[in-house]
Amino acid sequence: MPLPKIDMPIYELSLPSNDKKVKYRPFTVKEEKILLIAQESKDTEQIISSIKQIVNNCLLEDSIDSLSLVDLEYLLISIRSKSVDNIVKFKIEDPDTEESIELELDLTQVKIEKPENHTNQIEVSKDYVLFLKYPTAEDFFVLLNEDKSETERNYDIMLCCLDKLASEEDVFNFKDFNKKEVDDFIESLHNDVVKKMKEFFDTIPKVRHEVEYVNKNGDNKTFVIQGTQTFFI
């Protein structure tokens, strides 16, 4: 007689990038082991790969392939809070006193930071509007493995985020064009358009949280928690 399968609770949340509702389950001992191994490695590539694997295992009905990086981070935090404990205890070193400080993070209090002026639509001319999309974790994963300069990587990320160019009559999807055609289009843009594209990346929604503490000198300090590696504590 085989061992019984234990039913897992199912939760739902809205993705920060597009408010789409997705369902997920808590992770099991199997996923927790993957998490611990990645924590110990301190390797960015392994951490991102592990996040993808954990979220892919726990996400129901949907695929992680099209998830933006902020969606992936937010899902991981939500899964972690439902799986083990919503309170995470960790240590930091105060930069002024070099003392070890014990802090606590309540994962249920972590929110998405999205500036009010953020938009993915840029007016290229009186006839055309450029639509941008959020970079996926896969985009970053591929670029991490490429031997390129920071400028080249930033440009490639920008290319990954080009979605479509639209007018009242026509829609041009960038995925339908080769790299040279897209490069030629980018080079033809006015500097004001490129500046607005930069603003899109500067104001992109992100998972961010602040934890306040007092060091041994009595100074009030703030530790900022942000990004995939930081939330892997």
- Rg of the chain over Cα atoms, rounded to whole angstroms, equals 21
Edge-first strand listing for the sheet containing 206-214? 111-113, 206-214, 220-226
Q: 215 and 100 in one domain? A: yes
Q: 104 and 33 in one domain? A: yes
pTM of the model: 0.79
CA dist., res. 208 & res. 58, Å (int): 23
Look-up of token digits 């992109």: 204
In a domain, 4, yes or no: no
In a domain, 3, yes or no: no
Q: 106 and 22 in one domain? A: yes
CA dist., res. 134 & res. 40, Å (int): 29
Q: What is the pLDDT of residues 187-216, one digit of tens each?
A: 999 999 999 999 999 898 888 889 999 999
In a domain, 172, yes or no: yes
205: which 2 tokens? 């929604």
pLDDT on residue 199 = 93
Range of the domain at 28: 11-110+208-226
Q: 96 and 33 in one domain? A: yes
pLDDT on residue 232 = 57
Q: 188 and 164 in one domain? A: yes
CA dist., res. 115 & res. 144, Å (int): 27
Q: 144 and 81 in one domain? A: no
In a domain, 5, yes or no: no
Q: 86 and 24 in one domain? A: yes
Residue type for position 214: V
230: nearest Cα among 206, 212, 200: 206
CA dist., res. 228 & res. 38, Å (int): 12
pLDDT for 121 beyond 80: yes
Distance, CA of 207 to chain centre: 7
Q: Which residues lie closer than 8 Å to 188 by C-beta, 6 or more apart?
A: none
In a domain, 163, yes or no: yes
Cα dihedral 180, 142, 119, 171, rounded to 10, equals 40
Q: What is the pLDDT of residues 13-70, one digit of tens each?
A: 998 888 889 999 998 888 888 878 877 877 777 777 788 888 888 988 777 777 888 8
Q: 52 and 130 in one domain? A: no
Q: 214 and 181 in one domain? A: no
In a domain, 231, yes or no: no
Total domains in the fold of the chain? 2
